Amino acid sequence: MSETAAEEAAVLAAIYCERDEFELLAKSETNGITLRILANMEGNPEKIILKLTFHLPPSYPTCLPDISVCSEQLTRSQCLEIKESLFKQAEKFISEPMVHELVAWLQQNFNNLISQPDRLACSGKSNAEQNTVEDDVWTALLQLDHMRAKDKYIKIIEKWTSDLRLTGRLMFLGKMILIILQGERKNIKDYLLLQKTSKVDVDSSKKKCKEKMLSVLCETKLLFEHKRFATFEIKEYSSLDELNREFEGVGLSELYRNFVPAVLQ
């Protein structure tokens, strides 16, 4: 954790001092700082509140922060569009504390951003879809809430992915459990059906139960800039930086930025 990031977090707490306006979510030497700011977008007929989550890794500010944007009043595609705009703006402040500058810039430019047509929706249409590697090859990002019978659960997932010719990762970081699946979209759909209808875990009474807390965070076509995992592997990570590098290794940095920080909320 950099001294600059720690000092910036203290300054932000003083600036955003209204009730629930600032929250320090996590702070450690190995993972850096994660903080949340509730930003009011003024000048709109309807009061719009954005929940902005910033993860400042240990190497920040020499690298960009991870950013998550959520709002009950906006669509997911609008939130993703705002996030991408923030990342572009953040590149101008590299090597400098930037969170307050980014929030202030967003408040000044918010109306222009949301007045543009929605361009990005992970499971929807985008210009990049015209550059897919193969029309039937997709990537899905899933989240599991927990595994009580972990060893048995993992074996079931390994069997399903093998039978359905899916590659990817089953990823553990602390209590967070993510699954990346890559393969034909039909096979991914078949996997999701198995995941939701089969007894894969045990409940608090040790009785076999179905998975009721599976979240599909994203489904998107595999693009030219993406690489395909050669195998399906189970991995445990010690930090967000290590997890991020896994996504970066196959060109899925945008997928990480758009969805993983939000899982930590």
Q: State phi, psi for 238 to the nearest 5 degrees.
A: -100, -10
Nearest-angstrom CA–CA distance, 101 and 22: 15
Q: Is the pLDDT of residue 131 over 50?
A: no
Tokens 């499971």 identify what position? Answer: 123
Q: Is the pLDDT of residue 135 over 50?
A: no
Instruction: Give the residue-averaged pLDDT of 226-244.
Output: 87
CA atoms within 13 A on the CB side of 73: 12
Instruction: Give the residue-averaged pLDDT of 28-52.
Output: 84
Tell me where in the chain the CATH 3.30.70.100 domain(s) lie: 127-263
Chain mean pLDDT for the chain: 82
Name the band, by pLDDT with cuts 50, 70 and 90, for residue 129.
very low
CATH classification of 127-263 is 3.30.70.60, yes or no? no
CB 139 within 8 A of CB 219: yes
Residue type, 18: E
Residue type, 147: M
Name the band, by pLDDT with cuts 50, 70 and 90, for residue 39.
very high
Mind listing the pLDDT tens digit for each residue in 53-108? 999 988 888 888 888 888 888 887 788 889 889 988 998 888 899 999 999 999 98
Report the pLDDT value the prediction gives residue 117, as an integer from 0 to 100.
42
Give 158's DSSP letter.
H
Cα–chain center distance at 178: 10
Report the pLDDT value the prediction gives residue 234, as an integer from 0 to 100.
92
Give 125's DSSP letter.
-
Nearest-angstrom CA–CA distance, 250 and 226: 6
**Residue 174 contacts by C-beta under 8 Å, 6 or more apart in sequence?**
none
Nearest-angstrom CA–CA distance, 195 and 137: 20
Q: What is the value of pTM for the model shown?
A: 0.52
User: Tokens at residue 249, please?
Assistant: 């290794």
Name the band, by pLDDT with cuts 50, 70 and 90, for residue 115.
low
Beta strands in the chain (DSSP E): 22-28, 32-41, 48-56, 66-70, 137-144, 167-173, 176-184, 199-202, 208-210, 214-221, 232-236
Nearest-angstrom CA–CA distance, 90 and 172: 29
Classify residue 152 as exposed, middle or buried by CB count within 10 Å of its CB (0-12, 13-18, 19+): middle
Instruction: Give the residue-averaged pLDDT of 122-151.
Output: 64
Q: Is the pLDDT of residue 10 over 90?
A: yes
Tell me where in the chain the CATH 3.10.110.10 domain(s) lie: 3-115
Report the pLDDT value the prediction gives residue 130, as an integer from 0 to 100.
37
Residue type, 111: N
- Over its C-alpha atoms, the chain yields an Rg (Å, rounded) of 20
- 3-115: which CATH architecture? Roll (3.10)
Q: Would you say the C-alpha torsion 59, 61, 65, 69 has a positive or negative sign?
A: positive
Regarding predicted confidence, which is higher, 140 or 199? 140
Check residue 174 and give left, alpha or beta (phi > 0: left; psi -120 to 50: alpha): left
Find the distance separating the first CA and the last CA of the chain, reported in whole Å: 20
